[in-house]
Amino acid sequence: MSWDFAILILSGLPWTIVVTIGAFAMGLILGAPLCAMHISRNPILHFLALAIIIFLRSIPPIVWVFLLFFGLGSGFISIGAIPATIIALGVVTAANMAEIYRGSLSSIHAGQWEAISALGLPPVSSFKDIILPQLFRVTLPSAASYLIGLFKDSAIASTVGVMDIAFLANFVARKSFDGLTPFAFAAVLYILISIPIALVARIADARLRQKVAQ
Amino acid sequence: MSDILSFWGTYLPQILDGLGISLKVTGASLAIGIPAGLALALMVQAKSRFLRWFCLAVVEIGRGAPALILLQFAYFGLPNVGVSLTSFAAAVAALSWSTAAYTSEIIRAGLQAVPRGQIEASDALGLSFADQLRFVLVPQGLRVAAPALLGFAVLMLQASSLAFTIALPELLSQAYIIGTTTFRYMPILCLAGLLYACICIPATLLVGWFERRLARHA
């Protein structure tokens, strides 16, 4: 495999990033109402959220991508490969984020809520100023490791023709009659990019921890 | 609606064949991958530096590279060095690697949860290293790791759908093939999704139940 091929595979990186960030942003946002429904006292909302979460998590992401791209695409709504992948991975991420949010909420000490009501603080601003900063700190490590997993799962986009790293590795493998180097190169690329994400998350986590420790 | 049901009825045998292959790939990958994961978990603590680094590399590549790339590497890449695998063997090889890498971390955490006193006691009793592993560390460590391992098994069944890319006729491939011949992608992909859900939902609930039960006895 020559350098040209390496650069060609590398040129898939923007689409890999677009799919990952798009799906992650969608999951971060949609995960919040889903979590709120799940912890709601209203039994209908609770079970609805439970059903949505378990369904989204029990069907493989690639099947969701196919359902949107081929399923909806065949005579229902025409949808591009990139939006289809982002939405499919996004809703699966939302279900997982809802679970992560719920875990973080339950890790917040009950005394915090009691103190808020004992002091008679207004609910909205106290959630924003007291609960949310703590929530952010607890959520960060699990969200970061989910992001790394999602980054690798974004390779699924290649199956519907998004020209990401995995797609171009496959393309180069076919073109050069060498299956070994392109895929090894792609694997190394995925690993190398995961490292800084993990590093940034770890540093941010350590900084946030330091703030609370005092 | 009855139209869709009769469509499902016609293609159900083919879809179930696919499900069978998905389950076989998953089962084989777990049967090879989990013992390999146990071996890796023990070997990353080995005294030999070479062995330690080698195992660490196996684990980090298996966890760091997307399963999709590992699958294509095994199927399209290995023939270049003279190892031609069938799509089934390639899928099992790649998913076993991934399983071994992930489960080694789960099992390592389980082994570390065994109280130090247990190891000290078995040392004091003069158990050989092998017996210490066999009777003390592994049974207790695996019990702690069991819910996480089961949860991972569910994820592995989902990951087996990625073998679509190496033309393994598993559940998703069968659904896709039926879709291309009939142009009715939506109902057949829904059926495939439902079948995955039929297995994964009870399995997930079982894992939750198992976790609560173990927590009660802890």
Tens-digit pLDDT profile for residues B52-106: 999 999 999 999 999 999 999 999 999 888 888 999 999 999 999 999 999 999 9
Question: What pLDDT is recorded for position B45?
Answer: 82
Half-sphere exposure of B123 (CA within 13 A, CB side): 5
pLDDT band for position A88 (50/70/90)? very high
**Portion of chain B with pLDDT greater than 70, in percent:** 99
What value, to the nearest 5°, has the Cα angle with vertex A87 and ends A106 and A131? Answer: 25
ipTM: 0.90
Average pLDDT, chain A: 91
Question: What pLDDT is recorded for position A163?
Answer: 95
Cα–Cα distance, B107 to B113 (Å, whole number): 10
Quickly name the fold that domain B2-217 has: MetI-like fold (1.10.3720)
Which burial class, exposed, middle or buried, applies to A108 when counting CB atoms under 10 A from its CB (0-12, 13-18, 19+)?
middle
Q: What are the extents of the domains in chain B? A: 2-217
pLDDT band for position B215 (50/70/90)? confident
Q: Is the pLDDT of residue A99 over 90?
A: yes
Question: What pLDDT is recorded for position A134?
Answer: 87
CATH number at residue A160: 1.10.3720.10
B140-188, pLDDT tens digit by residue? 998 889 989 999 999 999 999 999 999 999 999 999 999 999 988 999 9
Q: Which residues of B touch A166 (CB under 8 A)?
A: 66, 68-69, 72
**Portion of chain B with pLDDT greater than 90, in percent:** 69
**Interface residues of chain A, partner chain B, Cβ below 8 Å:** 54-55, 57-64, 66-67, 70-76, 152-153, 155-156, 158-159, 166, 169-170, 173, 178-180, 183-184, 186-188, 190-191, 194
pLDDT band for position B213 (50/70/90)? confident
Top residue of A148, A168, A183, A195 to mutate, by most chain B CBs within 10 Å, is: A183
Helix axes B49-64, B87-112, angle to 10 degrees: 120
A127-176, pLDDT tens digit by residue? 888 888 889 888 998 999 999 999 999 999 999 999 999 999 999 999 88
- Count of domains in chain A? 1
Give me the helices (H) in chain B, please. 2-43, 49-64, 67-72, 87-112, 116-124, 129-131, 138-159, 171-182, 185-217
Q: Is the pLDDT of residue A86 over 60?
A: yes
